[in-house]
Each structure stands twice: as structure tokens, then as C-alpha cells.
Amino acid sequence: MIYREQKAKIEALLGGGKAILIMGARQVGKSTLLGEIFRGKEGVMWMNGDDWDVQQLFSTMTSNRIRALLGKNRYLVVDEAQRIPDIGLRLKLITDQVPEVQVIATGSSSFELAAKVGESLTGRKRVFRMFPLTFGEMVAHTNLLEERRLIPHRMVYGYYPEVVVSSGEERAVLRELADSYLYKDILMLDSVGKPDKLVKLLQALAHQIGGQVSYNEVGQLIGIDPKTVERYVDVLEKCYIVFRLGSFSRNLRNELKSSRKIYFWDLGIRNAVIANFQQVENRADTGALWENFVVSERMKRLAIQGSFVNTWFWRTQQQKEIDFIEEEDGVLRAFECKWNSSKSQVKMPEQFAKAYPAATFQVITPDCVDDLLLSKT
């Protein structure tokens, strides 16, 4: 069993009274993690929000019915909680009326679950985000040398748990993940009025990783208006398929101020979307894959650690660029991603160095990536 970094943090909150929300895409290991945490424990009731009878039960829930239902159980685990109408109010009722029972809920759509639970449980919940496996988790499972050797493989097939443990069957597993999650679950959401356009948008974004994304240009390409593009990107982001990185701008007039890049949380899903599983040495997009790998793994690590760090990229109108920037406690750290280790001597852009003289700069190649992806900050 591959140890998940969130496990100890969640276990430390058991018995503390606050509801625990675990959000992340389907199949990243939320239910498996809870199974590990509650293995051998008594007094645990499990429910799945996908089940119609569970939805009906919650829709008619009263305090007396809750007590009769839970009996002597002290933990209530609700999987895929966003499927249950008014789940926020229902969980609040349990928390208020049966305080001795702790609720643990999972959801694969953050905007549905967060919107339904957020206000109802203000101050009485802890939220965890789960992602596909991380570079750090796999290093702990095997060792650093083995995982570094597997980086080209991860850049093609990604880190979804079932993919990682299905050697030789990665393509079939990813196809099933894409078909069952991307093209069924997400396209069924009420906010997606044109499913075919969302599929085309996803493919367009997959071809633009590492590059700036213009909602106007993408909209013209797939035949929808820029506002719909932005709304659909928001859907994909809140379903943990992609994430946005904004542009950093402070001191220079020619810095891009409202630009954005969009990355995939998992490169296996990205490559499945465009049906390209060629190995890195035969690809034209290896540089973009490497940038996505580094940025997404770093973002996962910052999220799991609970770091208070702002993140951006930097670019000027003259096309000078830095791939990834972090700001923590007023300190700027700049990173440039280069797949070819011979380019490790790249220098910080002169304009950036003059504008932000206290910033640090590091070129991230496969030879030194573990310094960034295993660091404590």
C-alpha cells in the first residue's frame, strides 16, 4: 500500500468534533485512504452519495431519525457527498444535533461540495485536497533513484493510483478514467450546457500546456464566446482536472498583467485527452510536459503541506519569461524548467533581476528536480 501524506493529518483530527471534508477528483484514492484510516475501528457507518436510497434518506432527515440511524456509531463517512441535495444543511444538522458523531465527507467536485457545505459549516470543518499520487509519495514508497528513473514514464502516464499499479495496462486504465470521469461525470453537471464544446476545450487546453491561454482565441477555435470558455475552465478547475497560474506583475510597465497559463493536475489524463502516449524521446511537446510535471508536482506539494505561498509565472511584452514564481513571507523564488540538463546554466532575465534584486532563481532539470519536489517549503 502506498502511504498518502494526508493520512497522519486526518487521523490527528479524529475525535476532535469538526467535520472533515476531503475533496479531489474521482479515483485519486479518497475512499482507499479512509479505508486505511478506519481499518479495524468500530463505530463507523459508511454511506455513498451516489446511491439513490442514501439521497432519499438525507432528504427526509430529522434529528430523531439521525440518532436512530447512527445508533452507537461515532463516525459517519459519506462518500461522493456532493451528490446529495442540500448536503450542507444535512451535515450541519448532524453536527448540531448529534455532536458526539464526527462527519467525514468526500467529494469529487469541489464547487458543488464547497458551495453546499461552506456556509453551513463555517468554523466547524477542516478541508483537505487530495490529488493523484505525488513524486514525494512515490519516493517514500520505493526510493529516490527509482522514482527519478521513472520520471519519463510519469510524464506520459501520470500518477493516478490505479495507473501506477497497473504496469503494462496504463493506456487502458487511463482510457477508462477519461471515459468514466471526464466524459460522463463532468459533462452531466448542470453548469455544462454544451458538452461537445467542453470536450473540444479540454483538447485545446491539452495542446497549450506551458503556453499562455487566451479565452478569446480558444473561443474562436472551438466556437463559443470567451465568457463561456472562462466558465468551462472554472468547471474543469473545480473538478481537479486543470489549474490556472496567473501572471506576476509589480514593478515593470511592460509586464503582462492579466495573462494566464493552464496546467493539468495529471499528465496521464492530459495525454489521454489528446490520445498521445508516445514516449518522451519521440515527442515534440517534451519541454511542455516537463514544465507541467514540475509545476503540478510543486503545486501538489504546497497544497498538501498547507503552505501559504502565492504562485505565478512572469512574462514581458518582449517575450522574456520565467516559468514559475513563488512568494512566501515577502520572499520571491523564481524557477525555470528545462528538460535538457545542458541548459541548466540559463540565467535569470536581466529585467526581472533588476526589478526584483532580492529574488532567487533556479533552473529545474531532471538532475535536480528532487530538491524542489521534496523540500519542506
Query: Does residue 233 sit in the same domain as residue 99?
Result: no
d(CA 171, CA 217): 31
Where among 75, 101, 129 does a domain terminate?
129
Domain assignment present for residue 1? The answer is no
41 in Cβ contact with 73 (< 8 Å): no
Domain assignment present for residue 64? The answer is yes
Domain assignment present for residue 108? The answer is yes
Locate the DSSP E strands across 196-305.
242-246, 260-264
φ/ψ of residue 48, rounded to 5? -120, 120
Query: Does residue 114 sit in the same domain as residue 142?
Result: no
Helices 110-117 and 226-238 sit at what angle, rounded to 10 degrees?
80
Query: Does residue 164 sit in the same domain as residue 232?
Result: yes
Domains in the chain, number: 2
Query: Does residue 248 sit in the same domain as residue 318?
Result: yes
Query: Does residue 143 sit in the same domain as residue 246?
Result: yes
Query: Does residue 78 sit in the same domain as residue 144?
Result: no
Domain assignment present for residue 96? The answer is yes
pLDDT of residue 73: 93
At 350, the pLDDT band (50, 70, 90 cuts) reads very high
77 in Cβ contact with 53 (< 8 Å): no
Query: What's the whole-number average pLDDT of the chain?
Result: 89
For 345-350, which contacts have Cβ atoms below 8 Å and span 24 or more sequence positions?
Answer: 348/322, 349/316, 349/320, 349/321, 349/322
pLDDT of residue 329: 94
C-alpha cell at 125: 470543518
Query: Does residue 170 sit in the same domain as residue 229?
Result: yes
Between 46 and 62, whose confidence is greater? 46
Q: Which of 131-135, 241-245, 252-256, 267-271 has the lowest mean pLDDT?
A: 252-256
Stretch 135-141: mean pLDDT: 97
Domain assignment present for residue 119? The answer is yes
Closest by Cα among 6, 295, 262 to 155: 295
Element of type H or E holding 23 = strand 19-23
At 254, the pLDDT band (50, 70, 90 cuts) reads low
Where among 129, 150, 174 does a domain terminate?
129
Query: Does residue 141 sit in the same domain as residue 72?
Result: no
Q: Residue 261 belongs to a domain with what CATH number?
A: 1.10.10.10
Where among 129, 147, 179 does a domain terminate?
129
pLDDT of residue 270: 96
Q: Residue 118 belongs to a domain with what CATH number?
A: 3.40.50.300
Query: Does residue 109 sit in the same domain as residue 186?
Result: no
pLDDT of residue 274: 94
pLDDT of residue 78: 94
Between 359 and 196, whose confidence is greater? 359
Domain assignment present for residue 238? The answer is yes
Query: Does residue 92 sit in the same domain as residue 168?
Result: no
Task: Say how many residues make up the chain.
Answer: 377
d(CA 239, CA 182): 9
Instruction: State yes or no: pLDDT of 246 exceeds 70.
Output: yes
Query: Does residue 105 sit in the same domain as residue 91?
Result: yes
Instruction: State yes or no: pLDDT of 156 exceeds 70.
Output: yes
Domain with 198, as residue range(s), is: 135-373
Domain assignment present for residue 2? The answer is no
Query: Does residue 140 sit in the same domain as residue 236?
Result: yes
